[in-house]
Structure 1
Amino acid sequence: MTTTINQMKCACSPCLCIVNLSDAIAKDGKYYCSEACAQGHLDGAGCSHKGCDCNSN
C-alpha cells in the first residue's frame, strides 16, 4: 500500500497553516505557506493568512 501526502503543516514553527505541497514554497527540503515563512520572517512580516500570527515569534 502506498500513501501519498498532499498537505502538511508549514515548516515555520509558529505558523498554523496547512499547505498543499503543489502550492507550497519549497526551501531546503521543507515546505512553507509563504515567502515570509520561508525566509524566516526577516522583514518582520507574517504569512498574512487569516487566523495566523506567525510573525509574532
Structure 2
Amino acid sequence: MTTVTQMKCACESCLCVVNLSDAVHKDEKYYCCEACANGHQSGDGCGHSGCGCHS
C-alpha cells in the first residue's frame, strides 16, 4: 500500500504541489497557501515561483 504525501493544490489555476503535512486544509481539500484556500478574495496569488494563480 502506498501513502500519498503530496498532491496538486486544489486551486484550479494553481500549479503548486503541496506536502499534505504542510498544506492548508479547508473543506476536505488541500491548498498551498491561504490565498488559494480563500479563493483569492483579495486578488493576490500564491507568490510561489513560476505560478501565476489568482483567480
TM-score, normalised by the number of residues in structure 1: 0.94
Give secondary structure in 1 for the equivalent of 2:50: coil
Provide the aligned length of Structure 1 versus Structure 2: 55
5+ residue gaps, structure 2: none
Deviation of 1:21 after TM superposition, in Å, equals: 0.2
Residue in 2 that maps onto 1:38: 37
Using the aligned pairs only, state the percent identity: 65
- Between structures 1 and 2, the one with greater helix share: 1
Per-residue CA deviation, residues 11-53 of structure 1 (Å, 9 max, x unaligned), is 0000000000000000000000000000000000000000000
5+ residue gaps, structure 1: none
What is the rounded CA distance, in whole Å, between the counterparts of 2:2 and 2:50 in structure 1? 30
Q: Which runs of 4+ in 1 moved over 3 A?
A: none
Once the two structures are superposed, the pairs formed by residues 1-57 of structure 1 within 5 Å of their partners are: 2-55=1-54, 57=55
Q: Which has the larger radius of gyration?
A: 1
TM-score, normalised by the number of residues in structure 2: 0.97
Tell me the amino acid that sits aligned with residue 15 of structure 2: L
Give secondary structure in 2 for the equivalent of 1:8: strand
